[in-house]
């Protein structure tokens, strides 16, 4: 299939404008004056900016292409993403302001920073950091895959796809290096406006173009492919998989390094609460776009590769200009999250591996440079891996969710449970990760999402071991514990809340 030159030009112009915005966002030297300024913007972002930034974190090209691809292949099973975000934000309403307060007081920029000081354990912190970096690189790869597929549909016959993808991601690396978190914050505004306007326009117009109305599209599905609208009751991806996938994805969402970056950039815990209330509005777009995967099943030629189903549907439905607007929306949903993810991974490496293990005496200026230069390493590794092993990306990203969620008990439980011990949290994390790895290696999930079994074992280990170390944990005290639970009165032993 040959691309559309008009669509390619429109896509290229919009992407170049956004990259330019990314560069000018960092025109002030303050944006790269310290690790805290570069990675979390000095924690000064208001509710609206946080809404756009976390929206850019969560709603990526993989969200749109991956979910429509899943719906194209398996119908309603793809709708697990709808309850997943419905579950994630009420949880976030309670624990995000609490973790933000600790991070703000102690100048943390990663969850590994929190783990190190909460449990007084560099080893635990380093393992959390390694886990975060390794799980995030395949996620960045999926953004690479998203823009690669988009350019293949828009530009085949006009450009060298691989070359343009590499140049695009290198430009993102440069503007991220230059501007830090301000780059994806400002570019996310344009990206999210396009998501709302263009995606909703496609959701409304595509069923009308091909079936006359949404009602006729749904009736055609009922008549020709009723299985697309029902969840399988058994099999490897039945109702149990659907439920556990939604639960695990919800618990993992705010454990990802890039969503932590967005969270810690907020100016207050109240801004995070407001966002937990209004971010579910994105679900309107998410749910309706997933239906377009079912529409594609009815419309695009049989034998179409599922990963191109949504893009092929756009190609069949619109002229060049509208195609370009749609493709640029998906391209930006690749590039903007890539920038935030690179910042999250770079912060983990610099703070929790380089500073804590390799060079503990690193000066603040050196730490800032190491953090910024790691962007090129992270994006370079993602590019290399994605180009060499394109077929492994989705499996690795699914494993990434299962791996990232193993951080949840150590982080969230420790915010509320004073007696949670380092030994129990550490053991639960390690054994949970081992369970996940075993399930993926043996290809056995027993009808559930693999991360579910890892998390169940993780929590059981924590609950079993903690009583043996609870007294020791209760006697332990440090600055983070005092921030969370109050200062202990030396005479009475009673903890009193600070502030």
Given pLDDT bands bounded at 50, 70 and 90, which one contains residue 463?
very high
Convert the pLDDT of each residue in 165-211 to its tens digit: 888 888 888 989 999 998 888 888 888 898 889 989 999 999 999 99
Kindly write down the DSSP assignment for every residue of 265-315, as one continuous string. Answer: TBS-HHHHHHHHHHGGGHHHHHHHHHHHHHHHHHHSPTT--GGGHHHHHHH
- 113 burial (CB, 10 Å; 0-12 / 13-18 / 19+) is buried
Look at residue 497 and give its three-state secondary structure: coil
Phi first, then psi, for residue 291 (nearest 5°) are: -60, -30
Mean pLDDT along residues 107-129: 95
Predicted structure pTM score: 0.90
CA distance 53 to 262: 6
Of 209 and 391, the structure prediction assigns the larger pLDDT to 209
**Please, how many CA atoms are within 13 Å of residue 271, restricted to the half-sphere of its CB?**
21
Alpha helices in 4-121 (DSSP H): 5-24, 35-40, 47-58, 61, 67-74, 81-106, 111-119
Give the single-character DSSP code of 64: I
Does the pLDDT of residue 296 top 90, yes or no? yes
Given pLDDT bands bounded at 50, 70 and 90, which one contains residue 494?
low
Spell out the domain ranges in the chain. Answer: 5-392
Does the pLDDT of residue 162 top 50, yes or no? yes
Residues in a beta bridge with 495 = 488
CA distance 488 to 498: 10
Nearest to 410 by CA among 401, 397, 423: 423
Nearest to 402 by CA among 367, 441, 453: 453
Kindly write down the DSSP assignment for every residue of 91-107, as one continuous string. Answer: HHHHHHHHHHHHHHHHT
CATH class of segment(s) 5-392: mainly alpha
Nearest to 386 by CA among 60, 132, 62, 145: 145
Mean pLDDT along residues 466-475: 93
Nearest to 286 by CA among 21, 59, 31: 59
CA distance 202 to 64: 12
Does the pLDDT of residue 393 top 70, yes or no? no
CA distance 211 to 389: 39
Containing H/E element for 466?
Answer: helix 450-475
Convert the pLDDT of each residue in 54-73 to its tens digit: 887 777 877 788 888 888 98
Q: Which residue has the tokens 């190190």?
A: 116
């Amino acid at each position: 299939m040959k691309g559309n030159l008009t669509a390619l030009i429109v896509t290229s112009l919009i992407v170049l404008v956004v990259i330019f915005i990314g560069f000018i966002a960092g025109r002030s030297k303050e944006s790269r004056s310290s690790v805290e300024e570069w990675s979390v913007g000095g924690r000064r972002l208001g509710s609206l900016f946080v809404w756009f930034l976390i929206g850019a974190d969560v709603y990526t090209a993989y969200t749109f292409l991956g979910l429509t691809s899943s719906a194209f292949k398996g119908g309603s099973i793809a709708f697990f993403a709808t309850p997943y975000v419905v579950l994630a934000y009420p949880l976030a309403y309670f624990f995000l302001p609490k973790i933000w307060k600790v991070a703000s007081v102690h100048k943390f920029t990663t969850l590994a920073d929190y783990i190190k000081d909460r449990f007084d354990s560099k080893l635990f912190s380093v393992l959390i950091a390694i886990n975060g970096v390794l799980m995030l690189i395949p996620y960045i790869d999926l953004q690479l895959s998203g823009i690669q597929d988009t350019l293949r549909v828009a530009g085949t016959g006009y450009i060298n796809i691989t070359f343009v993808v590499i140049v695009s991601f290198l430009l993102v690396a440069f503007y991220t290096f230059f501007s830090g978190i301000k780059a994806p914050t400002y570019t996310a505004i344009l990206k999210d406006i396009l998501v709302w306007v263009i995606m909703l326009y496609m959701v409304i117009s595509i069923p009308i173009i091909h079936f006359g109305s949404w009602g006729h599209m749904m009736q055609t599905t009922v008549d020709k492919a009723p299985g697309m609208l029902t969840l399988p009751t058994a099999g490897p991806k039945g109702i149990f998989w659907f439920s556990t996938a939604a639960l695990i994805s919800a618990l993992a969402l705010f454990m990802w390094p890039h969503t932590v970056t967005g969270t810690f950039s907020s100016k207050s815990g109240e801004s995070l609460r407001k966002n937990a209330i209004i971010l579910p509005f994105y679900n309107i777009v998410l749910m309706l776009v997933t239906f377009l995967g079912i529409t594609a099943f009815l419309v695009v030629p049989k034998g179409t590769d599922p990963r191109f189903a949504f893009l092929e549907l756009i190609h069949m439905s619109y002229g060049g200009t509208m195609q370009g607007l749609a493709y640029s929306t998906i391209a930006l949903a690749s590039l903007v999250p890539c920038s935030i993810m690179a910042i999250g991974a770079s912060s983990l490496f610099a703070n929790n591996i380089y500073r804590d293990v390799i060079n503990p005496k690193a000066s603040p200026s050196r730490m800032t440079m190491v953090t910024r230069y790691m962007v090129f390493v992270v994006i370079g590794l993602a590019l290399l891996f994605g180009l060499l092993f394109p077929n492994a990306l989705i499996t690795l990203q699914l494993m990434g969710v299962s791996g990232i969620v193993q951080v949840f008990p150590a982080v969230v439980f420790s915010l509320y449970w004073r007696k949670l011990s380092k030994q129990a949290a550490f053991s639960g994390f390690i054994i949970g990760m081992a369970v996940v790895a075993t399930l993926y290696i043996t290809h056995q999930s027993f009808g559930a999402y693999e991360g579910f079994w890892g998390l169940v074992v993780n929590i059981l280990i924590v609950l079993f071991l903690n009583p043996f170390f609870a007294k020791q944990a209760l006697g332990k005290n440090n600055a983070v514990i005092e921030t969370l639970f109050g200062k202990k009165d030396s005479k009475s032993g009673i903890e009193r809340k600070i502030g």
